[in-house]
Amino acid sequence: MIEKNVAIVCKNGPLENAKRALAALDLQRIKGLKVLIKPNIGRAAHPGQGINTHPQAVAGAIEALKDAGASSIVVGESPIVGVNTMEAFVKAGIKEVTDKYGCDLLDLNAAKPLKKEIPGSRILGFTRICPAVFNFDYILSLPVAKCHMHTGVTLSIKNMKGCLWQHEKVRYHQLEYRPGEIYKEKTLDSAISDLATVLLPQISLVDGYIGMEGMGPSGGEAITSDFAVASWNPIAADIHTCVMMGIDPREIPHLAIISERMGIPLDPAFYEVCGERRDDYKDYIVPYARPPVSISIKYPDIKVYDCDSCSACQSTVMLFLKRFKDDMSQYLLDDGMFHIGIGKGLDGKIKKGTVLIGNCTKAMKEFGLYIPGCPPVPTRIYKAITGKEPLENEPEVD
Ligand code: SF4
């Protein structure tokens, strides 16, 4: 039977939104069980930027799970490659919350990965998952509501990519379809749908207190929308979060593919909204700006060659430009533009003197300044270009 209930709660702040949205569901089934809360703490960033799940939303989830009688509650994450999990938990304010409630933190990368075959795979064949996620009775996926340059949005289903082991996440961005097979979606969308066939959260709670619009997952703008959406059905939670973000869920390829593969309706009208805003939730929709089709459109004097990059490099470029764009005026090429290249598919059409960011661009290094890393952090890019350390009092961005 398909779970139809979706709870939507708005305008109470991150803790109360999260707690009340979960409490509006039938939480009896959690009594006596071990629950892993999987937030989105992909980067070491302070709360309030819309990059990570708000720590008070995690607090609200813990309170609701405790009230429901969960026997143990652990918060775990495998962030993007190059980010230290425990440092990210501290900076994101999660450790302060787990200390307060007496819950453990878990670095999902601490144990060697489990290779899981994917029967009927569309593209992956297999995937490498952090084994600790299988030590729990339930996984609660608790992402922050964000737009995403590659996948449209990143919500409770895509958040499960943070249960993948280290570089396995990067593999998802480097896949190619088998010769002769044609799909209309991106390979990443196929890969997320494959993962969903072997790893879905049992319960989903999306933190929409401060989300990210535009060039997510980390290069966009923070937006206060002050809602939470919860459901035992992750597709229902993601569909209704799209609604609250002013986005048509049918435009999100990975949701459409998963809906089709698993026979779960994509139409919001199929589901039953419960919770405090059952009747008037549409009055609280806050439209999120969609991601631009390319970084160059946002910065007209910057030329970005982007061919088959992944979101980690795109986010790094956005963070770099946000922080250092004004310092790049002396490094323009003869067309008056600053040139950046990312991704493994670049070809000889890029201009000599291009700044080539990330290991994937190594083959093109004769065309410009190659900066290795997967991805290199913005300060390293700045140093490679200018030969100087950034000023200490500049704002923190990574
Ligand atoms: S170098 Fe950049 S584009 Fe290539 S895999 Fe690493 S993060 Fe992704």
* CATH numbers and ranges of domains, the chain: 5-284 (3.40.50.11440), 295-386 (no CATH)
* Candidate of 161, 170, 306, 377 to mutate for ligand 1, largest count of ligand atoms within 8 Å of Cβ: 170
Please, which residues bridge with residue 211 across strands? 223
**Ligand 1 centroid vs 19 CA: distance in angstroms?**
37
Stated pTM of the model? 0.86
Ligand 1 near 74 CB (within 6 A) = no
- Is pLDDT at 394 greater than 80 in this prediction? no
| Tokens standing for residue 98 | 């787990």
- Alpha carbons 3 and 370: distance in angstroms, whole number: 50
Least confident of 60-64, 99-103, 183-187: 183-187
Q: Give, for ligand 1, the residue of 357, 360, 362 to mutate: max count of ligand atoms closer than 8 Å to Cβ.
A: 360
DSSP string, 314-362: HHHHHHHHHHHGGGGGGG--TTS-EEEEESTT--TTSPTTEEEESGGGG
When mean pLDDT is compared across 11-25, 28-42, 214-228, 252-266, the lowest value belongs to 214-228
Q: Is the distance from the beta carbon of residue 375 to the nearest atom of ligand 1 less than 6 Å?
A: yes
The finding on whether 313 has its CB within 6 A of some atom of ligand 1 is yes
Residue entry with tokens 């878990």: 106
Confidence of residue 39 (pLDDT cuts 50, 70, 90): very high
Query: Residue 397: its pLDDT value, please?
Result: 36
- Smallest CA separation from ligand 1 atom 8, residue: 310
The closest alpha carbon to 295, from 341, 336, 335, belongs to 341
State yes or no: cis peptide before 217, omega within 30 of 0: yes
Does any ligand 1 atom lie closer than 6 A to the CB of residue 371?
no
Give the mean pLDDT of the chain.
93
The answer to which of 244-253, 313-322, 333-342 has the lowest mean pLDDT is 313-322
pLDDT at residue 393 is higher than 70: no
Which of 113-117, 157-161, 186-190 is the least confident region? 186-190
**Percentage of residues in the chain with pLDDT exceeding 90?**
76
Q: Which of 271, 269, 240 is closest to 9 using CA atoms?
A: 240
356 close to ligand 1 (CB < 6 Angstrom): no
Which of 169, 306, 309, 320 maximizes ligand 1 atoms within 8 Å of its Cβ, making it the mutation to test the pocket? 309
The string of DSSP letters for 104-157 reads EEEEGGGS--EEEE-TT-SS-SEEEE-GGGGGSSEEEEEPEEEEETTTEEE-TT
16 CA from centroid of ligand 1 (Å): 38
pLDDT at 27: 96
- Tell me how far the alpha carbon of residue 342 lies from the centroid of ligand 1, in angstroms: 8
Q: Name the least confident of 29-43, 195-209, 292-306, 365-379.
A: 292-306
22 contacts 230 by C-beta, under 8 angstroms: yes
- pLDDT for residue 316: 84
On the question of pLDDT at 396 being above 50, the answer is no
Instruction: Point out the ligand 1 atom lying closest to the alpha carbon of residue 174.
Output: 5
Cβ of residue 359 lying under 6 Å from some atom of ligand 1:
yes
**What is the DSSP code (8-state) at residue 388?**
S
Pocket test for ligand 1, best of 83, 187, 310, 340 (most atoms within 8 A of CB): 310
Helix (H, G, I), strand (E, B) or coil at 9: strand
| CA end-to-end distance (rounded Å), the chain | 43
**Nearest Cα residue to 143 out of 72, 238, 13:** 238
- The tokens for 228 are 């939470």
Task: Tell me if 377 CB under 6 Å of ligand 1.
Answer: no
123-181 pLDDT tens trace: 999 999 999 999 999 999 999 999 998 899 999 999 999 999 988 998 888 788 888 88
CA 132, 133, 139, 141 dihedral sign is: positive
Ligand 1 atom 3 nearest Cα: 309
Tell me what pLDDT residue 398 has. 35
Query: Between these two residues, 20 and 374, which has the higher pLDDT value?
Result: 20
pLDDT of residue 395: 40
Ligand 1: nearest atom to the Cα of 343: 3
For residue 117, the model assigns a pLDDT of 98
Closest-CA residue, ligand 1 atom 4, reads 360
DSSP 368: E
The two three-digit tokens of residue 42, written as one number:
């992909």
Ligand 1, closest atom to CA 374?
A: 6
Q: Is the pLDDT of residue 288 over 60?
A: yes
Task: Convert the pLDDT of each residue in 42-78 to its tens digit.
Answer: 999 999 999 999 999 999 999 999 999 999 999 999 9
CA 357 to ligand 1 center in whole angstroms? 8
Give the pLDDT confidence score for residue 286 in this predicted structure: 98
For residue 56, what are the CA distances in angstroms to 94, 143, 284?
A: 8, 13, 20
Residue 368: strand pairing partners: 354
The per-residue pLDDT for range 296-313, each reduced to its tens digit, is: 777 888 999 988 887 778
Q: CB of 369 within 8 A of CB of 356?
A: yes
- Which ligand 1 atom sits closest to the C-alpha of 308? 3
- Kindly report, residue by residue over 197-243, the tens digit of the pLDDT: 999 999 999 999 999 999 888 888 999 999 999 999 999 999 999 99
Whether ligand 1 lies within 6 angstroms of the CB of 341 is answered as no
Ligand 1 contact, 346 CB (< 6 A) = no
